[in-house]
Amino acid sequence: MLICDEYLTPASLDEAFAAMERHRGRYRVVAGCTDTLPWAREGRAGDVEIPVLIDVTKIPELNERHVGDTRVRLGAATPIQRFLDDAALGRAMPAMPRCAVWFADDQIRAQATLGGNAVNASPAADATPCLEAHDAIVELASSKGRRSMPLREFITGPGKTQLAEGELLTGFECDAFPGYGGSFEKVGHRRSLVISVVCLAVMVKLDRDGRTIEDTRLAIAGIRPVPRRLREIEDLLRGKPLAGALLEEAADMPLDLVQSRSRQEYRRDVVRGFLVRGLIAAAKRAGASPDALTRELEAAYG
Amino acid sequence: MVDIHLDAIINGRKVSRDVKPHLRLLDFLRDDLNLTGNKEGCGAGECGTCSVFVDGVLMKSCLMPVAKAQGATVDTIESLAKSGELSVLQKAFHKAGASQCGYCIPGMVMAATAALRANPFADREEIKERLGGNICRCTGYQKIFDAVELARDVQNGRVPATALLETDTADGEVIGKNVRRIDAPSKVSGRLKYAGDMTMPGMLHVQVLRSPHAHARIVSIDTSAALAMDGVESVITAADVPGKDGFGVFVHDQPIMARGKVRYVGEAIAAVAAEDALTAKRAVAAIKVVYEQLAPVFDPDEAMLPGAPVVHDYAPDNITKHIPIRVGDVEAGFAASDLVIEESYSTQAIEHAYLEPEAGLAYVDHDDVVTVVSPSQNITHHRHMLARIIDKPISKVRFIMSPVGGGFGGKEDMIYQGMLALLAMKTMRPVRLVYTREESIISTAKRHPSRTTLRMGLMRDGRIRALAMRMVCDGGAYGLSTEGVMRKAAILAAGPYAIPNVQIDTYGIYTNNTPSGAFRSFGALQTQFATESQLDIAAERLGLDPFEIRRINAMRDGDMTHTKQKLGSVSLMRALEAAEQASRWEAGAPTVRGPSRGDLNHDDVRPSVTLGTRFASGDASSEAAE
């Protein structure tokens, strides 16, 4: 049970900083609360008494959304469901709708926020590998000023970030990838409401004929302490003709990706299959030429 | 605490009132507004019984601090059939039989309503996906999906609205007809009151102190600080029990709260009744217990060894129950067999996971009748046990069975009703206890974990000559239904097969684990898992078809079971035939089935698990290049 004496809903960043200053050492910042409330239960943190909860989801800046041709800016309180509801956003971040559909369930993603997913820094977070594939920059603010840094520097370990005392994550700035095909592969113990054992975000851009890989972005999570971009695979694929053998070669690169504490062998098998399957799916959505990939390959990795 | 002044529109009515800042929207709806149609099943966003619309978007109200509903429009299950007329979806749930215990159904109806709002033409796979955040334990979901498809078709005019009505049963005959459940309207509307939904004026809230130790002597319990707290009405321990303490289905070995020592983690030690649940919780935390650790035993085989820690003094060998069965001469049978197979099997503890966590309400009525309302699956037995425990004549003890939000055997034991009765007697006020999901999992009975060794002797033609089985079950800290489970396990161990020589021993053993109790199939699962698995192994070794080896050994009409019950009619052959057809079985020994198997990938076989049907249906206009 999460017990508080006061629940504050500041209407601006300044109000939030003032509340954080006023209740220094006695508060916790919350957003969607979809992780905080289950955390404060028996078996995890148990009954937790926090004098002041500061809910930042009503701050206008944290709800901003700007989708440009090359850049996307999203406030930290953006609910995950927005990637399914907002067509322009989905086009600019093509793996994200696929990620969203696997994220918790229809109801929780209406409440869970992108910022919360990043600040929690779970190794199994679904949204962070997607953000990583977009070279996301996190924007931080405190009463003393603002700073920003790449997401890959922000998340330093399981549950650990560079967020400082008195500081809020306000938003993300990402590269936009319109015209790319996106996919998101995830496995857990069931479909909905499941923590990823492995998850993979893939984006692919093909040439006009749908035969050559012009660009690709991949990032993986669930198998190591923090999400990891797969630049080696991106470099291998970039500029090459789309072909099953190439995708399998990419999946077979000896990268030692799996560094999880458990089920390593299983995860290695899954990663290999996900890489090929994710690349096939993303390439098809990017308009792959019908004869670029064989039906046998698709059946083998379907 | 600084109250929040909440203004919201709830089920179409303006609500403006002060609320406690730590409440979740679910608490506010259920406790402050008495809108109990939506339930709490897990409190962690896993089950969806609490799903409500917030500004038209379905949300899990157990994951939402009430302050987030400031200025919002909230609609609960009660809003769907406001004037008493069920919505099309609710009628479809009624018609399709899409409710059993009913506890998940308000959330299911809400999720289905949201699904058809999002896509009025959603196909079955998309419906499944959109209902993915809601769990049902009873129905297997198929009837729920049937109901949503029926409602969709009625709404789209593809099926006439009369399809929602009862099929005509000429001359009133109902047997063999598909009739609607009479209790379904109360479940699909959320109007049915489970024990945790019930309130009474002046009601107190109960919380329980539970043992952190598996095996420890209780040196002392100091409840003085808890009793001194504002709002605390009573604190009870085993010392407050007026009669002969002890309950259980076969042996009354379990006190209503730990007496002298604790025997498992999660065992109740003391209970508090207070004006509100939070005060009761804080009082529980203020109770001081001094323990002296005792050596615990967690493995039933170790518990049977000489010198093992003793869980109950009356059973120095830790054997709760041993059921032996002897038919014929198994050693002679094995000697005469062409093939003898010996294997070991084990099964694990399983939680019943009914959607309704345990809950109960108790009061002493105007005639001094101690009354307990709870989803007990065995109220008459509980009533007799409780009368002895609280030292009252049976005429002064009453049990009322509230709707059972799923039981599966898990609500057969009188685990908490004794504490409630005692607190009602102490305070002379109504008292209510509602378990959290975690409390339910930690403290209540599970399926018996088992270890089985099985020897089976067979002739070359597949006939079983002899079967010898020894199964050791972990009964946990208390007896509960263990004796009955061991009996049933032994009776059914040899399966529906005519075997001339049988030797069966089932043992229920005390350990310091969570007690094991009744669970669907009641022991048959554990022994038959071994027997049926062994038959498959035997089929492989003998080159026989697995169906055939079962037919060869099947009991027939008029046969005698190995516990000397004469069978009038045996339906096994029909069951085997039906299973063979439904599975598109390819005849032959297990070893001959290869890559060309033809039983897979048919239209009625579910494809591999994935998500994203809504993209294919065009709902996600966000697709880049599709």
Average pLDDT over residues B433-447: 97
Q: Are residues B362 and B429 in the same domain?
A: yes
Residue B611 resides in a domain: no
Residue B370 resides in a domain: yes
Containing structural domain, residue B56: 4-79
Q: Are residues B135 and B108 in the same domain?
A: yes
Q: For residue A52, how far is the Cα from the chain centroid?
A: 28
pTM comes to 0.95
Q: Are residues B145 and B67 in the same domain?
A: no
Q: How confident is the model at residue B83 (pLDDT cuts 50, 70, 90)?
A: confident
Contact yes or no for B69/B28 (Cβ under 8 A): yes
Which ranges of A59-196 does DSSP label H, i.e. alpha helix? 82-85, 87-92, 96-102, 114-120, 127-133, 151-154
CATH number for the domain whose boundaries are A2-55: 3.30.43
Taking the CA atoms of B163, B169, B170 and B176 in sequence, report the sign of the dihedral they define. Answer: positive
pLDDT tens sequence across B106-139: 999 999 999 999 999 999 999 999 999 999 999 9
What is the chain B residue with the closest CA to A101? B612
- CB interface of A with B, residues 87-116, below 8 Å: 87-91, 94, 97-98, 101-102, 104-108, 110-111
Q: How confident is the model at residue B597 (pLDDT cuts 50, 70, 90)?
A: low
Res B626: pLDDT: 37
Question: At residue A143, does pLDDT exceed 80?
Answer: yes
**Which regions of B120-277 does DSSP assign to beta strands (E)?**
204-210, 216-222, 232-237, 261-262, 268-274
Nearest CB to B65 within list A7, A97, A191: A7
What is the chain B residue with the closest CA to A48? B22
What is the chain B residue with the closest CA to A51? B1
- Are A38 and B64 an interchain contact pair (Cβ–Cβ within 8 Å)? no
Question: At residue B18, does pLDDT exceed 90?
Answer: yes
- Are A7 and B4 an interchain contact pair (Cβ–Cβ within 8 Å)? yes
Q: Are residues B70 and B136 in the same domain?
A: no
> What are the structural domain ranges in chain A?
2-55, 60-175, 181-301
Question: At residue B624, does pLDDT exceed 80?
Answer: no
Report d(CA A204, CA A238) in Å as an integer.
9
Q: Are residues B361 and B231 in the same domain?
A: yes
Res B617: pLDDT: 62
Cβ of A149 under 8 Å from any chain B Cβ? no
Question: At residue B618, does pLDDT exceed 70?
Answer: no
Q: How confident is the model at residue B592 (pLDDT cuts 50, 70, 90)?
A: confident
Mutation test of the interface with chain B: which of A8, A57, A105, choosing the one with the most B Cβ atoms within 10 A? Answer: A105
Q: How confident is the model at residue B625 (pLDDT cuts 50, 70, 90)?
A: very low
* End-of-domain residue from the set B79, B111, B136: B79
Report d(CA A37, CA A76) in Å as an integer.
19
Q: How confident is the model at residue A295 (pLDDT cuts 50, 70, 90)?
A: confident
Q: How confident is the model at residue B620 (pLDDT cuts 50, 70, 90)?
A: very low
Question: At residue B366, does pLDDT exceed 80?
Answer: yes
Q: Is the ipTM of this complex over 0.90?
A: yes
Q: Which of B263, B270, B235, B265 is nearest to B248 (CA)?
A: B263
Count of domains observed in chain B = 3
Residue B527 resides in a domain: no
Query: In chain B, count of helices (H) and strands (E)?
Result: 18, 20
Residue B467 resides in a domain: no
pLDDT tens sequence across B518-554: 999 999 999 999 999 999 999 999 999 999 999 999 9
Residue where the block lists tokens 């302490």: A225
Domain A60-175: CATH class, spelled out: alpha beta
Q: Are residues B60 and B118 in the same domain?
A: no
B552-584: b or e for each residue (b if 16 or more CB lie within 10 Å)? bbbbeeeeebbeeeeeeebebeeebeeebeeee
Q: In B, which residues are within 8 Å of A33 by CB distance? A: 63-65, 68
Q: Are residues B53 and B97 in the same domain?
A: no
Q: Are residues B263 and B127 in the same domain?
A: no
- Are B623 and A285 an interchain contact pair (Cβ–Cβ within 8 Å)? yes
Across chain B, mean pLDDT equals 95
Cβ of A278 under 8 Å from any chain B Cβ? no
Cβ of A172 under 8 Å from any chain B Cβ? no
Res B176: pLDDT: 79
Q: Are residues B47 and B111 in the same domain?
A: no
Q: Are residues B281 and B419 in the same domain?
A: yes
Q: Are residues B282 and B212 in the same domain?
A: yes
Please tell me which residue, A77 or B167, carries the higher pLDDT value: A77
Q: How confident is the model at residue B587 (pLDDT cuts 50, 70, 90)?
A: confident
Q: For the ranges A220-224, B83-87, B177-181, which has the lowest average pLDDT? A: B177-181
Cβ-based contacts under 8 A for chains A and B: 152
Q: How confident is the model at residue B37 (pLDDT cuts 50, 70, 90)?
A: very high
- Are A6 and B1 an interchain contact pair (Cβ–Cβ within 8 Å)? yes
Q: How confident is the model at residue B596 (pLDDT cuts 50, 70, 90)?
A: low
Report d(CA B322, CA B310) in Å as an integer.
17
Contact yes or no for A129/A200 (Cβ under 8 A): yes
Residue B600 resides in a domain: no
**CATH number for the domain that contains residue B269:** 3.90.1170.50
pLDDT tens sequence across B390-418: 999 999 999 999 999 999 999 999 999 99
Residue where the block lists tokens 């899409």: B98
pLDDT tens sequence across B469-483: 999 999 999 999 999
- Are A1 and B48 an interchain contact pair (Cβ–Cβ within 8 Å)? no
In whole angstroms, how far apart are CA B398 and each of B363, B369, B405, B486? 10, 7, 21, 31
- Are A107 and B2 an interchain contact pair (Cβ–Cβ within 8 Å)? no
Domain A181-301: CATH class, spelled out: alpha beta
Q: Are residues B131 and B9 in the same domain?
A: no
* End-of-domain residue from the set B192, B227, B245: B192
**CATH number for the domain that contains residue B136:** 1.10.150.120
* DSSP single-letter state for residue B494: T
Share of chain A above pLDDT 90, in %: 92
* End-of-domain residue from the set B79, B112, B145: B79
pLDDT tens sequence across A196-247: 999 999 999 999 999 999 999 999 999 999 999 999 999 999 999 999 999 9
Res A299: pLDDT: 81
Res B267: pLDDT: 98
- Are A42 and B111 an interchain contact pair (Cβ–Cβ within 8 Å)? no
- Are B21 and A47 an interchain contact pair (Cβ–Cβ within 8 Å)? no
